[in-house]
Chain A
C-alpha cells in the first residue's frame, strides 16, 4: 500500500501554473498550527519571561523595571529548598510507581489467570481525576479522623494518631504515595506493552540453556524493555517535575514549606502573593531545568533505536 502525500505532485502544480515549492506549501500547511502555538504558548511565554525583569503586582496595572532583582531574590531565598523538595518528590514519585508498575507488568505478562481483569482493575486509579484522587487520600491521611490512623490504631501499630500531612517528613511521603497510586497504572501499561514485544522463544531458548529466572530477566527481559523503560521513566520524571494538583490539594506546599515544589511555589507567588515578577523569575529558572530534562529525553529517545 502506498501512503499518499499531502502535497500534490509537482508536475500537476506546474500544469496549473502554480509556483509554490514543496517547502513553501508545507509551511503554509503548518501556519494555522504555528499561529495557534504563537498565540497560546509563545506570546504568554515571552510575556512571562520579560515579566521576570519587572516588579509587578497581579492586582494592579503597570509595572516597574527591576533588572535582575527578582532572580537575585529567588536565588537567595526560595530556589534551593524548592529545588530540593522538587527533586525529592520527583525521584520518589517516579521510582516507586516504576517498581510497582514493572512488578505488576511482569506478573500480568507471565500468563497469570485473570490477567485481563486485573489489568483493567489496576488501570482504575489512572482514570480518576487527579484532584479527586488527592481529596480521597487527604481523607485517608487526615490526622484527626483519617482512615489510615483508625486502621493502624485498631491493629495496634500506633497508639495515637499521626499527623501524616502535618509533619515535614511524613507529608512528603504522603504526597509521594498519593502520586504513586495515581501514576503506577500508566507505567504498568507502558512496560507491559514493552514486555509483550519480547519474543517468548528467547525465554524458552534461555531456559533450555539452563538460565534461571533472574538470569533470564537480566539477559532477555530487561534488554527487551530497556528502551521503553527509559522513555517511561523520563516522561514520568518530567511530568512529576512540573506536577501540581496532588501537592496543592494535599498540603498546599506545607507544613512549613516541606512539600513546596516549583509548581506550587510559582502558583503561591503569582496567585496568592500577587508577585508576578518573583513568580516568573522562579518559573523561568524552573523552565530552564525542564528544558535540560527535555534535552535528556530527546537524546535518550534518539539513542535507543541504535
Chain B
C-alpha cells in the first residue's frame, strides 16, 4: 500500500508555517508601492460620476446629502455612485483611493486637506465654474491653493467653544468667561455639579489639533515664516495648563470630537470645542430636543483682557477629480454648494451655513441666532491652520498631538515634548 507520506502532524506543521510565513510576508507586501499617475483617464463628459463624502456617513447630514444626490440624479437622468468614509479615516482613505485611480467625480474635502490633495495633481481647476456661484470672498479663498480654485466652498465657518447655558446657569456662572483665569473658575464651578464634565476638550490624538488655538492664546505663533516656534515658552505654558486641567479632572480623558458631541448631547458637558455644525451634529443624537436652546457659542477665553479670542477656520469644499464624469461632477458641485434653495434646506437640517452671499441673506439663515452669533463672536477672529499649506499637514498635526498626549498621560514633560514636536514638525515641513 502506498500512502502520501504526509501525516497529520506534518500537515499541521506545514499549515502553520505557511500561514505564518505568508501572513508575515503579506503584511510587508501590503506596503509595496502601487505607483500613481496624475490622470485617472475616462470620459470627462460622461453623465455618471462618483461622489465621495464623510457627510454621507454621519447621522446629522447623510439624509440631506442623499436628498441632494437623488435630486440631481432624477433631474439629470444620471447616476451618482456615492462613497463614504468616517471623518477620522477620510483623508487617508481618499489619498489611497485617489492614488490608485479608484475615485472619480466630486470629492468632499476639509479645507485643511486641500493643499495635500491638490499637490497630488489629480484635481480639476474649477476657476471658471466658481465664477458662477456667487460665493463670498472668504469662502472662495478657502477653496484655493497656489492661486488655483480646486474646491467650491460648501461650508465656511470656524471651530470654537460651545457652551451649555443651562448647566452654566445651574453652576452659578453669571457671564461667559473672558480670560483663562475666569474660564478655570467656571470649570471648577461646573465640576461641583454631579456627573458633569466641565470641558470635554479633545484628549485623543484625532482631534488634539485643538491645542493650536490654545497655544496661540498663550502667545505662541506656532510658525514664523518657515521656522517652527512650537517649543517656545508660550507653547509650553499652554500644554502645561492643558495638563493642569486634565489632572484636575476639569477636562475628560480619552475624548475625541464624536465622544464630546455624545456627552454634550446627554447634557453632561459644560463646554466643548466644535465647528459651527456642532449644533446640528450634537442635536441629531441628543435625547433632549430642548438642548438646542441651551447651546451657545462662547469666544475662546484669552490670556488677558483685550486679546483677540483664537479660533481655527473650518470648512468644507467640493473638489472634482480629473477624468471620468468630471464635467458633470463640476456642475453637481456648483449646484450643491450654490443653489440657494438647496443650500438653505441643507442649513435647515444640518446647521451648516451657506457660502454664497444670497444664501447667507436668506431670511431663514439670517434669523438663526446661533449661527449669526457664531459668525460675530468666533469666526470674526478665526485664522487658518498654521500648517495647511504643507502637504504633510495631517502628519504634522498628528505629530504635535501625540506629543501633547504624551504630556497628558505623564510620559513626558511639556518642555521635552514640545521640543520633540518642534523637531518632528521641522522635518515634516521640509519633506
A34-75 contacts to B, CB under 8 A, are 40-41, 43-45, 47-49, 51, 56-61, 63
User: B20 near A293 (CB under 8 angstroms)?
Assistant: yes
Q: A302 contacts the other chain (Cβ, under 8 Å)?
A: yes
Q: Mark B16-42, 1 if CB is under 8 A from A, else 0.
A: 110011111111111111011100000
Chain A: CB-nearest residue to B20: A238
Nearest B residue to A6 by beta-carbon distance?
B4
- Are B24 and A291 in contact (CB-based, < 8 A)? yes
Is A45's CB under 8 angstroms from B17's CB?
no
Assuming the contacts A5-B2, A166-B254, A235-B16, asked whether A280 and B395 have C-beta atoms less than 8 A apart, the reply is no
Complex Cα gap A266–B31 (Å):
8
Q: Which of A239, A244, A280, A294 contacts B21 (CB 8 A)?
A: A294
Give A256 Cβ to nearest chain B Cβ, in Å.
Answer: 4
Given A143-B254, A166-B253: A61 in contact with B36 (beta carbons within 8 A):
yes
Partner of B28, one of A2, A48, A273: A48
B108 to chain A, nearest CB (A): 18
Asked if A163 and B253 sit within 8 Å, CB to CB, the answer is yes
Which of the candidate stretches B197-205, B213-221, B292-300 sits at the interface with the other chain?
A: B197-205
Looking at the complex, which of A24-32, A85-93, A103-111, A282-290 is the stretch in contact with chain B? Answer: A282-290
B32–A294 touching, CB < 8 Å: no
Q: Given the complex, which residues of B lie within 8 Å of A2, measured CB to CB?
A: 1-2
| B270 CB to nearest chain A CB (Å) | 14
Interface size bucket, B side? 35 or more
Candidate in A57, A160, A305 with the most chain B CB atoms within 10 angstroms? A57
Contacts known (A48-B32, A59-B95, A272-B398); A143 close to B252, Cβ less than 8 A: yes
A271 within 8 Å of B (CB atoms) = yes
A10 to B278, CA, bound (A): 78
Per-position binary interface string of chain A over residues 269-306, scored 1 when its CB falls under 8 Å from any chain B CB and 0 otherwise: 01111101001100110110011011001100110110
- Cα A63 to Cα B394 in complex, Å, equals 21
Q: Mark A226-240, 1 if CB is under 8 A from B, else 0.
A: 010001001100110
A144: interface (CB < 8 Å): yes
Q: How far is the CB of A37 from chain B (nearest CB, A)?
A: 8
Contacts of A168 in B (CB 8 A): 409, 411
Which of B151-159, B166-174, B255-263, B348-356 touches A?
B255-263
Residue in chain B with minimal CB distance to A167: B409
With most chain A CB atoms within 10 A of its CB, the pick from B16, B36, B203 is B16
Is A242 in contact with chain B by the CB < 8 A criterion?
yes
Say whether A187 faces chain B, with CB atoms less than 8 Å apart: no
Contact B28 A297 (CB under 8 A): no
- Please name the residue on chain B nearest to A162 by beta carbon: B253
Asked if A130 lies at the interface with its beta carbon under 8 angstroms from chain B, I say: no
Is A48 a contact partner of B17 (Cβ separation < 8 A)?
A: no
- Per the 8 Å Cβ criterion, residues 413-431 of B in contact with A are 431
Contact A263 B96 (CB under 8 A): no
How far apart are the CA atoms of A259 and B402 in the complex, in Å? 13
Please tell me if B371 contacts chain A, counting CB pairs below 8 Å. Answer: no
With A242-B27, A263-B27 known to touch, is A235 a contact of B405 (CB < 8 Å)?
Answer: no
Contact B249 A59 (CB under 8 A): no
Residues of A within 8 A of B431 (CB): 57
The answer to whether A301 touches B13 (Cβ under 8 A) is yes
Complex contacts, A291 vs chain B, CB 8 Å = 21, 24
Given contacts A165-B254, A167-B409, A256-B402, contact A235 B20 (CB under 8 A): yes
B33 proximity list for chain A (CB < 8 A): 47-48, 51, 56, 58, 63, 276
- Chain A residue nearest to B116 in the complex (CB): A59
**Residue ID in chain B nearest A141 by CB atoms:** B254
Contacting A144 at CB < 8 Å: which of B17, B263, B395?
Answer: B263
By a beta-carbon cutoff of 8 Å, the part of chain B in contact with chain A is: 1-4, 9, 12-13, 16-17, 20-33, 35-37, 92, 95-96, 98-99, 116, 119-120, 197, 203-205, 249, 252-255, 259, 262-263, 266, 391-392, 394-395, 398, 402, 405-406, 408-409, 411-412, 431
Task: Give A residues with C-beta under 8 Å from B.
Answer: 1-3, 5, 40-41, 43-45, 47-49, 51, 56-61, 63, 142-145, 160, 163, 165-168, 227, 231, 234-235, 238-239, 242, 244, 252, 254-258, 263, 266, 270-274, 276, 279-280, 283-284, 286-287, 290-291, 293-294, 297-298, 301-302, 304-305
Chain A to chain B contacts (Cβ below 8 Å), 12 pairs: A41-B26, A48-B29, A51-B31, A59-B98, A143-B252, A143-B253, A167-B409, A258-B409, A274-B392, A280-B28, A287-B28, A291-B21
